[in-house]
A = this chain, B = another copy of it.
Amino acid sequence: MYIKGVGMTKFGVSDKLSHQLAHEAALEALQDADLKFAQIDAIVCSSIEWFFSIEKQRHFASMLASVFSTNKPIIRVPAACGSSGAGFWFAQQQEFDHVLVIGAEKLMTCKTESITEEFMMAAESKWEQDEGLNFPAQNALIAQEYMSAYPQSTTEHLAKIALKNHDNAFLNPKARFYQKKVTLEQIRDSPMVCSPLRMFDCSVSVDGAAAAVLSKDKTDIRVAGSDLCTDYISPFERDSNTSWDATVEAAKNAYAMAGIEPCDVDVAELHDAFTIVELIASEDLGFAKKGHACNAIDDGAFCLDGKLPINPSGGLKAKGHPISATGLAQIYELTKQLRGEAGDRQVANPKTALAQNIGGAGGTVSVHVLRKV
């Protein structure tokens, strides 16, 4: 299928509720696609129901039916932080001509005392939730395991990932940290969250929405390959966490569908929920040899002017991570990059782009390859 249009709200703190954010992003995508809502055959949407929020919504599909005054089929596909990447994958499997895919999240109204508990509902119940193994802790253990296996990688490499993504977000008007300068010293000196991860190794929660129109009509952007894979929900169930099977499998299949190799990718948006997650993903996707992403990072290969820019948008780290909107925000960014519409953060002449979106600590991973036609 082809991408006919994309839309995205500014990521940050919004007065709008999640269905209103969804509406805003959807209208932008429809306008970009030059389609009327009546021409859409089905909607695939994503959002989490937050219990300790000002809005508690389990029937988001029908909320959107109200917003659009429609009887069209609307399906909600939540997959924790990998929701709208999963929705984007699932929407392609459909036989419809035009599918509107939307992800939206309202995070900034959740009560702070309960948001950790709510986030942890995406982890395994007994051995993770009950034991208090929250996502920063899970990813800190993964970072420890990785650095133990590959001691050439240090926290300095994680800091450089954070710096790169903040530098990119500085240039992105829709990013949470647009024009907010962050230095390597600030990153190094930021509070320890869970060793070795500091505050600047963690992505930032925001309100936001993103949308895309997938179409059988030929456009300038083709979805050349796409796959979704799952894995054990708990990292401790897996043989190793220095590589994530769901990413490796999904990438293998997406590359095969697209008929490309990792070296053909010109720009990528990866799921940097934590800096270590981007580092591991860059290896799992074949952008660096296992254990050697650190060298590519030292060489600046993943910077905006590097060999393969990663997260030109600023990523989850600095553009912001509105859970269910993140996967489609990646598609938004890559579409803009391939079209040459990315403004100050434009990558030089990209033809092939890759998005990777993760739910949980690697339990659901989607990988999409977009190509300029």
Contacts and interface: CB of A to CB of B under 8 A. Distances in A.
- Copies of this chain present in the complex amount to 2
Interface stretch (A226-234, A278-286, A308-316): A226-234
Contacts of A364: 59, 61-62, 65, 74
Interface string A74-95: 1111111000001001100111
A110 to B, nearest CB: 12
Interface string A354-372: 0000011001100000000
A122 B63 contact: no
B59 A80 contact: yes
A70 B230 CA distance: 7
Given A48-B58, A58-B122, A237 B66 contact: yes
A67 to B, nearest CB: 9
A245 interface: yes
Interface stretch (A49-57, A137-145, A191-199): A49-57
Interface string A199-214: 0000000000000000
Tell me which of A54, A74, A234, A237 has the highest count of chain B C-beta atoms within 10 A of its own C-beta: A74
A243 to B, nearest CB: 13
A246 interface: yes
Nearest to A72: B230
A301 B345 CA distance: 68
A359 B95 contact: no
A123 interface: yes
A39 interface: no
Interface string A227-271: 111111110010000000110010000000000000000000000
A71 B363 contact: no
Interface residues of A, number: 59
Contacts of A57: 121, 125
A245 B71 CA distance: 8
A37 to B, nearest CB: 13
Contacts of A72: 229-230
Contacts of A246: 71
25 contacts: A17-B125, A49-B49, A49-B121, A51-B51, A51-B118, A56-B121, A56-B125, A56-B129, A58-B121, A58-B122, A59-B360, A61-B79, A61-B363, A61-B364, A62-B232, A62-B359, A65-B230, A70-B230, A71-B246, A72-B229, A73-B229, A74-B230, A74-B364, A76-B79, A93-B95
Interface of A: 17, 48-49, 51, 54-59, 61-66, 69-80, 86, 89-90, 93-96, 118, 120-125, 129, 227-234, 237, 245-246, 249, 359-360, 363-364
Given A57-B125, A59-B79, A76-B78, 16 more contacts: A49-B121, A51-B51, A51-B118, A58-B121, A59-B359, A62-B80, A62-B364, A65-B363, A65-B364, A66-B237, A69-B232, A71-B245, A73-B89, A75-B86, A76-B77, A77-B77
Interface pairs A-B: 6 shortest CB-CB: A62-B363, A65-B230, A62-B233, A58-B121, A58-B122, A73-B228
